[in-house]
A and B are shown apart, each in its own frame.
Chain A
Amino acid sequence: MCALMSEELYPGIYFHTVSDERFKTNQIEVHLVTALDQGSAAQNALIPSLLRKGCEKYKDFTQFNRYLNSLYGAVVDYDVEKFGDEQVLSLSIISVDDRFTLNQEPVTEQISQVLFQMLLHPVTENGMFAASEVELEKKALIDTIEAEINDKRMFALRSTTQLMCEGEPYGLSEYGTVEQVKAITPASVTRAYHQLLSSAQIEILFVGSGNAEVCKQIAKEQLRVLSRSKSDVRLTATKLHAPLERMIEKTVQMEVSQSKMVLGFATEIPCNTRELYALRLMVIILGGTPMSKLFLNVREKLSLCYYCAARLDRTKGIVKIDCGVENENIEKAKEEILKQIEEMQQGNITSEEMKNAMLSMVNSYRTVNDSNASIESFYLGQILCGSTNSPEEEARQICSITKDEVIWASKQLKLDICYILTGKEV
């Protein structure tokens, strides 16, 4: 339905369009994709927060935001994410389509201009990001890193990844460390910014009902200044996670009222393979819906948890299961989770479970088409994984998986880590 049209504008710079006239908005995102690396992670992570604050034409943050308000409340957003071993730095803008303006204003053109101005012509002083701005955003980034403990569920999941993938880029934080952020100077972050513009893979996505051609021409015109050549561009590559030689058991104590447990598994199943579709289905049957084995047994039957879910990171072939549980029930929950995996390995999967999981996945793939945000994130994921499959194609692949393939996939799970965050003993 919503087909992705792609074009390489310049070496390593791609413009993707999903045109859909149902939407009343246009969303444009620019993603800079680069290797997640100890030396550059923090520097790079600071860049989106500096870029989003204005551009040469609107140097003053307050004036800039008032201008965005006048563009029907155009929303500028920025993000720093980890995708496999890659660091993805994003800048985006969204507003209503020209059809819905009060006086036929060319909002699509205006937001396209603003976005690329922000990316390519940020506010600088003597060719560098202003020292005061850099200091301010450094503090904010440090606070972001430190605030990771506020959300205990996410904190436990992040800590699990860090321990499980120590030594791999994926084990690093996408924000770098507090020490690395502290060491950033205006000169160093400006250098990192230029480095990104010249060598990062740049993925631009336009999703909406407006004229994408207008945006593409603006992108083309503005990005010309980068004058990139093929040899400048770094190609992305994420390595699969290999199982650890020794399983890690880690317990961390904090003042919490509920304990969190995360089990991390290696599977060594690569992306874009038939086996991965089998693994995906396996994860859904195990812990992806309210009819899953974990939900029905750990939650409904034993009343141990409110949430107990399984998730897959397809870039690394990693499966994680997490739950919130009473301290004294940790062992019981762990036992039951492992028992449910064993059940699958022994082939105890009903045809109903197979069918329900497929239907549920088909439903979520088909729903992707209904919002620009989900279309955008689906296709960005596909692009970064090197796949061009539409949501419909993904659904077809899932539906062709057999029970034997699911059993095989469940047998690939190797427990790498058991991470427990628990309350302090009194």
Chain B
Amino acid sequence: MKKRIVRNEKLQEKYYYVQHPSGLTILLYPMPNYSSAYALFGTRLGSIDMTFKSGSDQQFTVVPEGVAHFLEHKLFESEDGDAFSLFAKTGASANAFTSFDRTCYLFSTTNHFKESLKSLLTFVQSPYFTQETVEKEQGIIGQEIKMYEDNPGWRVFFNLLGCLYHNHPVKIDIAGTVESIAKIDAKLLYKCYHTFYNLNNMVLAIAGNFSVQEAEEVIEANLKDTEKVKLIQKTADEPDSICEKECLQKLSVSLPLFQIGFKETPYSGMEWLKAQMESEILLEMLAGEGSLLYRRLYDAGLIHDDFGTEVFSGRGYFANIFAGESKDPKKVQEELLKEIRRLRKSGLSEQDFLSCKKSMYGRIVRGFNKVESVANGLVSSYFADVDIYDNIKVAEAMSFRDIKRRFADSLDESKMAISVIEPLE
């Protein structure tokens, strides 16, 4: 095992970066005096990974929508029962999630850390799918999908992604549809599992109260060797332009919900981190609570305190989003555009930049307060090919010039779309 220590002077903290011979990357971040340990075992398989070939495959496999999420549900089942029952014996709380670009299995425990870690490693490495259990899960996930169909916040977001992206699978709902998951069978799940659940494609991150030595012992004893799979993924051919300018849907809500999005150039690695953080500051300066635009919209009764911004990015997608509830979303969009145009002429304020930068620094430090946010930060950084402490460095080095350049390169009106959920009637 190759092991190195990564330190940060500002936080006076460190973690261990371990490269296991099996190909698995292990990130161990002990946090003294915390009660709980939080572990995440993740693979680079998300809802966007729909077209791939591996090993000796001649043809690309195109999977139905929602496979990664379905696989996550089914991995909890083994030949001898449910993985939850393993954790129940130690009191650990276990869970899993599937996002656009990853699937993660996790537990949080204050006791019997070694047993819990063993359980996590064991069940994720022991797939067991049968036609019967797959069919049973179709009913459960069907209800999860229906729950999201009634969720206006979820719908307004995916409708926006549908406007911004022509082909990129980020526009597809993570859980798929009732129809798409009906096409899933045990054979397909095994195919996806053996392609993506390869230790070379995975990461294990642990933060909180645990002993590094104990963790290493458990890991050493419980990793199953896998052969490195040659994985070729077909990336969607996505033009720079947007697909639709607007999308309206009616649901039983009291007030319209909206999301206004600008499609931006996607990046990877450190370039991505810089773009992500600069955009966050830019949106804060433009529409945060300390901005003139926020004030104008709020005082006109056009937005509420739930109005906010998000920089949404990942493998092959990047969007700046403004979201909230409003009696008149179109008016909000108009005001936003007016403000962007005004700032393009008059320029951003350096004073604003400095206070937003300080605020960002505070937010980053706060992120190191909790074991789960540290563990999640480790996994996110790993999948993005950056280090968990890189955001501190990027924040420190960020200049007003960087933000001006970012502004010049983003928020292009021709790549803007709006998604609105309107009340019925």
Contacts and interface: CB of A to CB of B under 8 A. Distances in A.
Given A143-B304, A147-B325, 15 more contacts: A69-B355, A70-B355, A144-B304, A150-B152, A150-B257, A258-B146, A289-B88, A289-B93, A291-B82, A291-B84, A358-B91, A359-B88, A366-B110, A371-B369, A371-B370
A143 B371 contact: no
B140 interface: yes
Interface stretch (A22-30, A114-122, A404-412): A22-30
Contacts of B137: 303
Nearest to B293: A62
A66 interface: yes
A222 interface: no
Contact of B147 (A25, A140, A306): A306
A164 to B, nearest CB: 23
Nearest 7 A/B pairs, CB to CB: A359-B91, A72-B362, A73-B359, A303-B139, A65-B290, A146-B254, A73-B362
Given A256-B150, A356-B89, A143 B254 contact: yes
A255 interface: yes
B325 A356 contact: no
Interface stretch (B28-36, B194-202, B223-231, B338-346): B28-36
B356 A362 contact: no
A291 B87 CA distance: 10
Contacts of B140: 299-300, 303, 305-306
Given A363-B92, A366-B110, A367-B35, A291 B146 contact: no
B267 interface: no
A147 B255 contact: yes
Given A24-B365, A69-B358, A304 B139 contact: yes
A100 B151 CA distance: 39
B363 A255 contact: no
Contacts of A100: 10-11, 365
A290 interface: yes
24 contacts: A22-B33, A61-B295, A68-B289, A72-B359, A73-B361, A73-B363, A94-B366, A136-B298, A147-B255, A258-B147, A289-B93, A290-B82, A300-B82, A300-B136, A303-B139, A305-B140, A306-B141, A306-B143, A356-B91, A361-B91, A362-B110, A363-B91, A369-B34, A370-B35
B288 interface: yes
B375 to A, nearest CB: 12
Interface residues of A, number: 68
Interface in B123-150: 136-141, 143-144, 146-147, 149-150
A360 B254 contact: no
A50 interface: no
Contact of B365 (A96, A146, A147, A356): A96
Interface in B282-298: 288-292, 294-295, 298
A272 B190 CA distance: 51
Interface residues of B, number: 73
Nearest to B326: A143
B108 A72 contact: no
Given A65-B289, A325-B143, A366-B110, A258 B150 contact: yes
Given A72-B358, A306-B140, A362-B111, A147 B150 contact: no
Contacts of B360: 73
Given A62-B290, A305-B140, A369 B362 contact: no
A407 B152 CA distance: 41
Contacts of A235: none
A225 interface: no
A66 B146 contact: no
Interface string B164-180: 00000000000000000
Best-surrounded residue of B10, B90, B110, B136 (most CB of chain A within 10 A): B110
A62 B138 CA distance: 50
B255 A257 contact: no
A255 B325 contact: no
Contacts of A153: 147
A363 B110 contact: yes
B320 interface: no
Given A73-B358, A305-B140, A371-B370, A146 B108 contact: no
Query: Could you tell me the dominant secondary structure of chain A's interface residues?
Result: helix
Nearest to B137: A303
B292 A62 contact: yes
Given A24-B366, A69-B358, A73-B358, A362 B91 contact: yes
Interface of A: 1, 22-25, 49, 61-62, 65-66, 68-74, 94-96, 100, 102, 132, 136, 139-140, 143-144, 146-153, 254-258, 289-291, 299-300, 303-307, 324-326, 356, 358-364, 366-367, 369-372
Contacts of A102: 358, 361
A258 B84 contact: no
A136 B299 contact: yes
B149 A72 contact: no
Given A70-B355, A363-B91, A256 B369 contact: no
Contact of A257 (B149, B152, B153): B149
Interface string B349-390: 000100110111111011011110000000000000000000
Nearest to B356: A69
A43 B365 CA distance: 37
Nearest to A363: B91
B109 interface: yes
Nearest to A150: B253
A305 B374 CA distance: 33
Interface string B251-281: 1111101000000000000000000000000
A153 B32 CA distance: 39
Nearest to A254: B252
Nearest to A52: B305
A422 to B, nearest CB: 12
B421 to A, nearest CB: 9
A22 B31 contact: yes
A291 B85 contact: yes
Contacts of B82: 290-291, 300
Contacts of A254: 252
A73 B289 CA distance: 11
Contacts of B356: 69
B208 interface: yes
A349 to B, nearest CB: 14
A72 B147 contact: no
Among A144, A148, A290, residue most surrounded by chain B Cβ atoms (within 10 Å)? A290
Contact of B355 (A23, A66, A363): A66
B251 A258 contact: no
A95 B362 contact: yes
A102 B208 CA distance: 26
Nearest to B299: A136
Nearest to B366: A25
B94 interface: yes
Given A25-B369, A66-B355, A305-B140, A367 B10 contact: no
Nearest to A361: B91
A392 to B, nearest CB: 10
Contacts of A291: 82, 84-85, 88
Interface string B289-332: 11110110011010011000000000000000000010000000
Interface in B76-113: 82, 84-85, 88-94, 108-111
